[in-house]
């Protein structure tokens, strides 16, 4: 275990994913969301396959025993990606990312409902407080749209898309947990990109634009950045425990603030910052609580485990 290396890789992955979002956000005004999803997924395969090949076991890395499981994860994940990019097209970068922080909270809820994980009062309280933070972030966008039944477009539609995208991301994470019982990480990521590329390609019937040379370069760059970010994220968990790595997911807000300011000239409102702070704090509390419970379980196992020769 090399915690500092793991943390560094996690922070770097957050930066790379934010750069990917910035690159693709610049294209959202000119191209359909389905086309953006296709290029992001298809070109992400390039660094992924190169990484698996470099590891020296490409064929075994993509073998699978659960085709149906991959297909379900692909559908849920592709919907989440589609909604996330739709949110980027309507919202400032930092707002779309901040609302996406609802995903870890929703994972706790879905894990209790679908995986029968035991969730204690502390975590339920944290989830409830975190969801209040999500509502605070959403409030500027919902006041003029959702409460009057008009979701025809604009920031309100973007906020709803971001929230639904977070829900899909949480569902995809639950499915990934199921897949890890029999599947390798390389296979999970590989088949997701394959399915996302295929499913998004179906949207070509709704009208795609042929990108010019510069936009094609941006599409390729966005996809490669997404693939590199995925590799860095995967490697970060190789060198440090999840409880150490997870809190650094919130560094994406720092990058989103800086890129949003310098590239798009956007600054977050106090309302969004307040809600994001509440959600981040509850997410960090859940991680800390899980770490504490893990230490307690380890001590209990040491007490009950028979000693050698005992």
Lowest mean pLDDT among 66-70, 84-88, 118-122, 270-274: 118-122
User: Of 302 and 248, which is predicted with more confidence?
Assistant: 248
The predicted structure's pLDDT at residue 112: 84
The predicted structure's pLDDT at residue 148: 42
Please check whether residue 189 is in contact with residue 230, taking contact to mean a CB–CB distance below 8 angstroms: yes
Rounded to an integer, the average pLDDT of 90-102 is: 90
Rounded to an integer, the average pLDDT of 255-265 is: 90
Predicted confidence (pLDDT) at residue 57 exceeds the cutoff of 90: no
Please check whether residue 134 is in contact with residue 275, taking contact to mean a CB–CB distance below 8 angstroms: yes
What's the pTM? 0.84
Quick one: 67 exposed, middle or buried, by C-beta within 10 A (0-12, 13-18, 19+)?
exposed
Predicted confidence (pLDDT) at residue 196 exceeds the cutoff of 70: yes
Rounded to an integer, the average pLDDT of 261-267 is: 88
State how far the Cα of 46 lies from the Cα of 168, in Å rounded to an integer: 25
The predicted structure's pLDDT at residue 310: 44
Question: pLDDT band at 228, cuts 50/70/90?
Answer: very high
Rounded to an integer, the average pLDDT of 297-306 is: 49
State how far the Cα of 220 lies from the Cα of 218, in Å rounded to an integer: 5
Predicted confidence (pLDDT) at residue 45 exceeds the cutoff of 90: yes
How many residues appear in the chain? 310
Rounded to an integer, the average pLDDT of 196-206 is: 93
Predicted confidence (pLDDT) at residue 44 exceeds the cutoff of 80: yes
Rounded to an integer, the average pLDDT of 188-200 is: 93
Helices 121-142 and 270-304 cross at an angle (nearest 10°) of: 160
Predicted confidence (pLDDT) at residue 307 exceeds the cutoff of 50: no
Lowest mean pLDDT among 32-36, 78-82, 246-250: 246-250
Rounded to an integer, the average pLDDT of 231-242 is: 81
Among 236, 141, 139, which residue's Cα sits nearest to residue 185?
Answer: 236
Question: pLDDT band at 296, cuts 50/70/90?
Answer: low
The CA–CA distances, whole Å, from 172 to 7, 33, 105, 179 equal 24, 20, 13, 10
The predicted structure's pLDDT at residue 61: 79
Cα-flanking dihedrals φ and ψ of residue 40, to 5°? -60, -40
Rounded to an integer, the average pLDDT of 281-305 is: 65
| Share above pLDDT 70 across residues of the chain, in percent, rounded to a whole number | 89
Question: pLDDT band at 85, cuts 50/70/90?
Answer: very high
The predicted structure's pLDDT at residue 143: 66
The predicted structure's pLDDT at residue 41: 95
Question: pLDDT band at 124, cuts 50/70/90?
Answer: confident
Residue 25: CB partners within 8 Å, gap ≥ 6? 88, 89, 93, 264
- Two structure tokens written together for 250: 């919130």
State how far the Cα of 289 lies from the Cα of 44, in Å rounded to an integer: 35
Q: pLDDT, tens digit, for every residue of 9-19?
A: 989 999 999 99
User: Of 57 and 232, which is predicted with more confidence?
Assistant: 232
Predicted confidence (pLDDT) at residue 297 exceeds the cutoff of 60: no
Q: What is the DSSP string of the chain?
A: --HHHHHHHHHHHHHHHHHHHHHHHHHHTTS-HHHHHHHHHHHHHHHHHHHHHHHT-HHHHT--S-HHHHHHHHHHHHHHHHHHHHHHHHS-HHHHHHHHTHHHHHHHHHHHHHS-----HHHHHHHHHHHHHHHHHHHHHHTTTGGGT--SSSHHHHHHHHHHHHHHHHHHHHHHHHHTTT--HHHHHHHHHHHHHHHHHGGGGG------HHHHHHHHHHHHHHHHHHHHHHHHHHHS-HHHHGGGGGGHHHHHHHHHHHHH-----HHHHHHHHHHHHHHHHHHHHHHHHHHHHHHHHHHHSPPTT-
Rounded to an integer, the average pLDDT of 65-78 is: 92
């Amino acid at each position: 275990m090399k915690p500092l290396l793991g943390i560094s890789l996690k922070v770097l992955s957050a930066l790379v994913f934010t750069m990917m979002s910035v690159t693709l956000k610049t294209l959202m005004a000119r191209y359909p969301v389905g086309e953006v999803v296709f290029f992001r997924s298809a070109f992400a395969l390039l660094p992924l396959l190169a990484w698996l090949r470099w590891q020296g076991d490409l064929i075994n890395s993509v073998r699978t025993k659960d085709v149906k499981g991959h297909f379900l994860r692909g559908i849920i994940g592709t919907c989440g990606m589609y909604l996330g990019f739709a949110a980027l097209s309507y919202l400032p970068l930092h707002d779309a990312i901040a609302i996406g922080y609802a995903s870890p909270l929703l994972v706790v809820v879905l894990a209790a409902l679908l995986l029968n994980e035991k969730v204690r009062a502390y975590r339920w309280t944290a989830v409830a407080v975190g969801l209040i933070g999500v509502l605070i972030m959403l409030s500027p966008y919902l006041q003029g749209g959702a409460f009057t039944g008009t979701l025809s477009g604009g920031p309100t539609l973007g906020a709803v898309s971001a929230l639904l995208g977070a829900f899909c991301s949480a569902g995809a994470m639950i499915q990934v947990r199921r897949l890890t019982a029999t599947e390798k990480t390389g296979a999970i990521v590989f088949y997701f990109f394959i399915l996302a590329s295929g499913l998004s390609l179906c949207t070509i019937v709704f009208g795609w634009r042929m990108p010019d040379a510069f936009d094609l370069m941006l599409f390729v760059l966005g996809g490669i950045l997404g693939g590199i970010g995925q590799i860095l994220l995967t490697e970060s968990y190789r060198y440090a425990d999840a409880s150490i790595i997870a809190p650094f997911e919130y560094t994406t807000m720092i990058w989103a603030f800086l890129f949003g300011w310098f590239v798009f000239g956007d600054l977050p409102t106090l309302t969004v910052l307040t809600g994001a702070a509440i959600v981040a704090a509850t997410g960090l509390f859940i991680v800390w609580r899980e770490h504490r419970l893990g230490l307690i379980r380890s001590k209990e196992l040491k007490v009950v485990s028979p000693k050698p020769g005992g």
